[in-house]
Amino acid sequence: MISSYIGYYSLILGFILSIILLIYSIFCFKKNNKKINQNIFSILFLQFFTVVLSFISLIYSFIVSDFTNETVYNNSHTTKPLFYKITGTWGNHEGSLLLWLLVLTLFIFLFIIFSKKQPTKYRLLSVFFQQIIICGFFLFLLSTSNPFNLLFPAPKEGLGLNPILQDPALAIHPPILYLGYVGSSIIFSASLASLIQNNINSKWAKHIKKWIQTAWFFLTIGILLGSIWAYYELGWGGFWFWDPVENVSLMPWLCLTALLHTIIVLEKRQLLKSWTLILSIATFTLSMSGTFLVRSGILNSVHTFANDPARGVFILLFLFFLIILSLILFFIYQEKEATPQKKFFLVSKETSILVNNWFMMYFLSVVLIGTTYPIFLEVMVDEKISIGPPFFNKLLIPFLTFFLIFMSLGPKLNWIKDNYKNIKYSRIGLFLICILISFYLIKNTSTEILFTSILGGAALYLLLTTIREFLVNKHNISQTISHFGFSLFVLSILLNSLFSSEISANMKIGQEVIYKKEQIKFLSLETHKKENYKSVIANFEIIDKKKNSIYLYPEIRIYNQPNILTSEADIKSTIFFDKFLVINLLKGEEIFNVRYQTKQFMIWIWISTCLISIGGILGIFKRL
């Protein structure tokens, strides 16, 4: 009860501070002081503190199961383990928005500390723009999604958290993803500030690059965690479904990746200023629309757990406001081309980065239209269509092949101007050999052999090129690791999708099935009782060709509050394959549907994504 009051009023205080900051930063801006007024630091810190306080009070309400708080009542239960009581704080709409706000205030506070070398006016303006966003989120939270609504009389017991959210990976997935999303807000604010101050130059690029890399790193890891969770929790062995909610997290990632490359051109050659700005604005807009699309419930998706259409309207209006504001600023302040444009040469690093952006924007447009088109079609002509993996595969994979080839050539080129002759014939030979290798690896598995072997060959080629780069040329390790990771990523997805196999059978205890020379024995069944669920654990023995046996323990959980049945897969990972087994209850108590899958190179998908993001984090610490 008390904690709800504390939380609520500190939110209001934070909102007031936000308005004060809006006015005060403009006031300081007009005064032309050399240094930033200390008060700005103090108020920013105070604001961060109010949100932290508010967040802690919400966590506290969850821990003590204070059901006078409506959010707690809707999403918690006394029998839930403490860990999930805490993580349940951001497993719902109100709490997750409070987390958004927390990260927003944290980032601007860090930004102002770490930008001391930048011009004062630029920093003040960044604070101003970030406060506009923060102000909007405060308003959103207080008016439509207050986490501290009180219930009277207090209910005895809460409604509980959706069991599939009660999971360690999903506990940290939202905070990490938000660090990425919200990180893009700083890039947005800083770009607008820089635009007005006419400050877009290589010094600025160098400074904002660290923030781009930070946001990008968290976004990558955030998406990875979501995929890993989907892999073992949703229980059908896939890790990416081209589901709308996944797509909305991929869109800012694609845009940010483009920005990550463009900013280097700006840093090294002072080119592509407007394009950098557009990408910064677009990245944040996509992050915001992501939140809008997920939270409004427009999307038909497995992941939409908490949503409310009325709230969508607010985010949508706010989004339009921000877009229009940035567009107006863009057209007013866009630098008139006084100096003659520097030239781009066909064979040069900057052109290869342009090519990267070209493909990134194409991938983005495919994901964007694939995600939003069904919504428009339904609204306009009232027809429902589904857009799934076949659509994305058709439009993405052919282009991915070329992208991989450019990726192996581009980084080797020099700035300004390079020569065709530096591309040696031996490389073409190597490329053909790669295609041949991949062809022989996969010739018996695919139906579209030509496409697949060229794609595999291109990925293999990139892999070899980056390994060579790593050995010969050590000056750009972060890039080499990321690119190596990407080639490994494409290869492992390809091999995974081609070689994975599965069998589905209905089995009783004691029965066995033989599949591809493997014996699958259903040995026994045990029942356990936990605090918030009843669990049925099966024991399977898998005996392979060489008579080695492994045991798998898939589980069915019957949660008490809410009353939901979930299947927990059991997975044994090795470096070559995952053995994945999941059971489902069929009618009656005795027969189970058993799905046994061998997923080749699964672990390499996770490892390669980690490598991609490690490249990003190395970039941050390079020459700090």
Which parts of this chain interact with other proteins (CB under 8 A)? 236-238, 241, 243, 300-302, 341, 343-346, 351, 354-355, 358, 361-362, 365-366, 369-370, 373, 377, 381, 383-391, 394-395, 399, 425, 429, 432, 436, 439-440, 443-444, 447, 449-450, 504, 584, 593, 595
Strand 512-515 with 518-529, pairing: antiparallel
Between 309 and 389, whose beta carbon lies closer to other proteins?
Answer: 389
Between 327 and 450, whose beta carbon lies closer to other proteins?
Answer: 450
Question: CB of residue 192 vs other proteins: minimum separation in angstroms?
Answer: 24
Question: CB of residue 346 vs other proteins: minimum separation in angstroms?
Answer: 5
Question: CB of residue 51 vs other proteins: minimum separation in angstroms?
Answer: 34
Question: CB of residue 237 vs other proteins: minimum separation in angstroms?
Answer: 8
Question: CB of residue 358 vs other proteins: minimum separation in angstroms?
Answer: 4
d(CA 293, CA 358): 26
Question: CB of residue 27 vs other proteins: minimum separation in angstroms?
Answer: 42
State the distance between the two ends of the chain, measured CA to CA, in whole angstroms.
Answer: 46
Give the distance from CA 484 to its chain's centroid. Answer: 20
Between 135 and 279, whose beta carbon lies closer to other proteins?
Answer: 279
Question: CB of residue 213 vs other proteins: minimum separation in angstroms?
Answer: 25
Between 155 and 388, whose beta carbon lies closer to other proteins?
Answer: 388
Between 43 and 234, whose beta carbon lies closer to other proteins?
Answer: 234
- Cis peptide leading into residue 554 (ω within 30°): no
Report which of 421, 275, 278 is spatially closest to residue 350, judged by C-alpha positions: 275
d(CA 233, CA 229): 6
Q: What is the DSSP code string of 172-206?
A: HHHHHHHHHHHHHHHHHHHHHHHHHTT--SHHHHH
Q: Which two tokens stand for residue 576?
A: 């070559």
Share of the chain residues as helix, strand and coil, in percent rounded to the nearest 5: 65, 10, 25
Over its C-alpha atoms, the chain yields an Rg (Å, rounded) of: 26
d(CA 438, CA 446): 12
Query: Residue 522 pairs with which residues in a beta bridge?
Result: 540
Residue 394, exposed/middle/buried by CB under 10 A (0-12, 13-18, 19+)? exposed
Helix (H) or strand (E) holding 125: helix 120-144
Residue 500 in contact with residue 600, Cβ under 8 Å? yes
Question: CB of residue 258 vs other proteins: minimum separation in angstroms?
Answer: 11
Q: What is the DSSP letter of 69?
A: B
Between 291 and 500, whose beta carbon lies closer to other proteins?
Answer: 500
The beta-strand segments (E) located in 88-229 are none
Between 14 and 370, whose beta carbon lies closer to other proteins?
Answer: 370
Between 108 and 254, whose beta carbon lies closer to other proteins?
Answer: 254
